[in-house]
Structure 1
Amino acid sequence: MLQHDLRAALSEMLGGLSQLLARTRESETRSGLEALRGLSEEMGRLISLLSPDPRALSHQPPELRLDAFLASVARRWEAAAQARGIRFTLEVSHDLPTSLHLDRLALERLLSNLLGNALAHGAQSAVWLRFGLEQGSRFTLTVRDDGPGFPDTTLNDHAAGEASSAPFAPSRHASGLGLSICREITEALDGTMCVSNPADGGAEIRIALPVTPVRSGQPGTETACLDHLPDLTGWTTLVADDSASGRAIFEHLLRAMGAQVVALSDGADAQEKLLGAPYDLAVIDIEMPGLSGLEVMRALRRSDRDWARLPIIACSGHILQSERTAMRSAGADVILAKPLIGVMPILRAITEIADARQPASRICSPNDDLLIARLMARTGRSLAELLGDTCTEDLRAVQSALAKAVAEQDRATLSCQSHKLAAVAGAIGDDILTR
Structure 2
Amino acid sequence: MRAAIADILGGLALSDLSRLDAASRLQLQRVQSSAEQLARLTDETLAHMTGDTAAGADAPVSTTLGPFLGRIAARWTAHAGQHGVRFTMDRAEDLPARIGTDPAALERILSNLVGNAVKYSPDGEVALRVHMGPQEALCLRVSDTGPGFSDAAMARLFDFEGRPQDSARPGSGLGLHIVRDLAQRIRGQLQVANAPEGGALVSLILPRRAWAPGVETPAALEALPDLSGCRALLAEDNPTNQLLIRQMLETLAATVTVVEDGQEAAEALDGGGFDLALIDIEMPRLSGIDVIRQLRATEAPGTPMPVLAVTAFVLSANRDQIYAAGADGILAKPILSLDAFGEAVARVLRKRPGPAPDTAAAAPPVDPVHLDRLLALAGLEDGRELLSRMRDDFTQVCKGLAEGRARDDATLLRARTHVLISLAGAVGNSALQHQAEALNAAARADDRDAIGRSVAPLIAGVEAVCTALEQEFLGRYGEAAE
TM-score, scaled to structure 1:
0.47
TM-score by length of 2: 0.43
